[in-house]
Amino acid sequence: MFKKVLIANRGEIAVRIIRACRELGISTVAVYSEADRAALHVRYADEAYLLGPSAARDSYLRADKLIDIAKHTNAGAIHPGYGFLAEREDFALAVQDAGLDFIGPRPSAIAAMGDKAVARATVTAAGVPVVPGTEGEGNLSDDELITIAPQIGFPLLIKATAGGGGKGMREVNDPKDLPGLITAARREAESAFGDDNVYLEKLIVDARHIEFQILADGHGNVIHLGERECSLQRRHQKLLEESPSTFLDDELRTRMGELACTAARSVDYLNAGTIEFLVDKEKNFYFLEMNTRLQVEHPVTELVTGVDIVTEQIRIARGRRLHYAQEDIHSNGWAMECRINAEDPYNQFLPSTGCLTQVIPPTGPGVRVDTGVYSGFEISPYYDSLISKLIVWGETRGTAILRMRRALEEYRITGVKTNIPFHQNIMDSHRFIAGNYDTRFVEERFSMDEAEEGKEAEAHIAAIMAVLVAHRQTQEASQIVRRGERDASNWKWVGRWERMQR
């Protein structure tokens, strides 16, 4: 049984895993790129080793180096986190071949769920409904895709076979746009995953994105920890997650949870994973995909169930039984997570890079902040734009929203632009407060410019602060000019002048 874990990741998730290990008394080995020498995960780990240059392909994607470092440091296991190598079966296999434990599913399950065509065929055979599309058809050429498209019907989605996180994904509303968008999707898929294969899928309109957290041990136990509502997205990137979902009732929750466990069993799943569903207006639900790893939004589930998912992952990887049976899992209260990204919500959410000159995170009752950065840290263009995750818990959804509002206003980050104002506007949105949103809400029915009715106008305060800052600038500028006129004090000048006269 391993006593030391290498964490093959960076940022907040590496910190999250190090914390779990430390609480379990397990030693930790961090790895880092040149850009991350001073990152929090390097500072918190027991040991840390350089992987290489900043670009991910030269550092965090170097499977060979990761395994070498693990062997060299006598780490018995590797935790891949999310992203990077987390869903690469060849990596999981290489870890096992090196005699190490992989804290995650078996390579066969990653392969089965990672190839979406195989995943669809497998879960369909197990009786889980899927969204209509070309996934089972193998890798099709552009011409074949264009021929099949009308049978699926528009609007539809082009998705990367190897994809995730919205990369290589394009929406097609008009058949004549299809060829160009296939090219664009292939290009993005090639650069993100090194695989340009794409497939088509029917676009479910007014869809909700609801996912179920799964835990499975090596003794045949598979349980779910309830759902996470992840419909609040922009360009297929999740921005906010909550649990439970306002859209599910107990009956539907039980049915979806059971089918999620069935889907996991169909690939002989082990460890933590997530089954994503699309749910339409009539509450029909379709299997979307399985994420065979820890999710970014796992803390939401942790706060309502009290289950430490990362600790369970490590227990499972050590061959232990799950701490919980399905009937032990109860959801208590409401949890909500805002992803705080270095993006400018007032300028098309463009990424913002630079030095975080100051960070003051919110604290107090019911607030959790998972982050890998701190004041003085540089947000580089090499990795994703996630600065932190702000998670709150409340007894009801209403108290959770009020607490999130409070926490967002406390959060101070300077040096880069963040999407905190976006989340503040969401928390004030009547539709969001009513739980009335789907995956298109942000793009189609939400604007940063429209203030909600009834919100107190504070324009005069803004005007006063702007004037006071402008006034200060003018004064400072004029002082600098005066100081520059003479390099020494007037008394010194008098002294020098007097000496000259002697």
Partner 1 sequence: MKYFATIEDQIFEIEISSDQELIVDGVRLSVDFQSIMGRPVYSLLLNGRSHEAYVYPTESGMEVLLQGDLYQVAIEDERQRRLRNASSTQKVQSGEFQLKAPMPGLVVSIPIEEGQEIEEGQNLIVLESMKMQNELKSPCAGTVERINVAPGDSVEKNEVLVILG
Site of interaction with partner 1 (CB under 8 A):
167, 187-188, 191-192, 342, 344, 346-348, 350-353, 357-358, 360, 381-385, 408-409, 412, 414, 420-421, 423-425, 427-428, 448, 451, 458-471, 473
* C-beta separation of 314 from 5 below 8 A: yes
Angstrom distance (rounded) from CA 452 to CA 450 = 6
For the CB of residue 209, give the shortest distance to partner 1 in the complex, in Å.
19
Angstrom distance (rounded) from CA 426 to CA 246 = 16
Count Cα neighbours of 352 within 13 Å in the Cβ-side half-sphere.
20
Angstrom distance (rounded) from CA 287 to CA 5 = 33
> Hey, what's the torsion of the CAs at 11, 76, 115, 65, to 10 degrees?
70
Q: Is 482 a catalytic residue?
A: no
Select 237 or 262, whichever has its Cβ closest to partner 1.
237
Angstrom distance (rounded) from CA 144 to CA 499 = 94
Cβ neighbours for 463, distance < 8 A, ≥ 6 positions apart = none
Please tell me which residue in 293, 315, 339, 403 is annotated as part of the active site: 293
Angstrom distance (rounded) from CA 126 to CA 124 = 5
Count Cα neighbours of 452 within 13 Å in the Cβ-side half-sphere.
14
> Hey, what's the torsion of the CAs at 194, 196, 202, 208, to 10 degrees?
20
| Pair of tokens at residue 85 | 């190598």
For the CB of residue 382, give the shortest distance to partner 1 in the complex, in Å.
8
Angstrom distance (rounded) from CA 211 to CA 42 = 32
For the CB of residue 465, give the shortest distance to partner 1 in the complex, in Å.
5
Angstrom distance (rounded) from CA 31 to CA 66 = 8
| Closest listed residue to residue 405, CA positions, set 356, 359, 362, 344 | 362
Angstrom distance (rounded) from CA 403 to CA 16 = 23
Q: Residue written as tokens 């009547």?
A: 430
412 DSSP β-pair partners: 360
Select 470 or 494, whichever has its Cβ closest to partner 1.
470
Positions annotated as catalytic residues are: 293
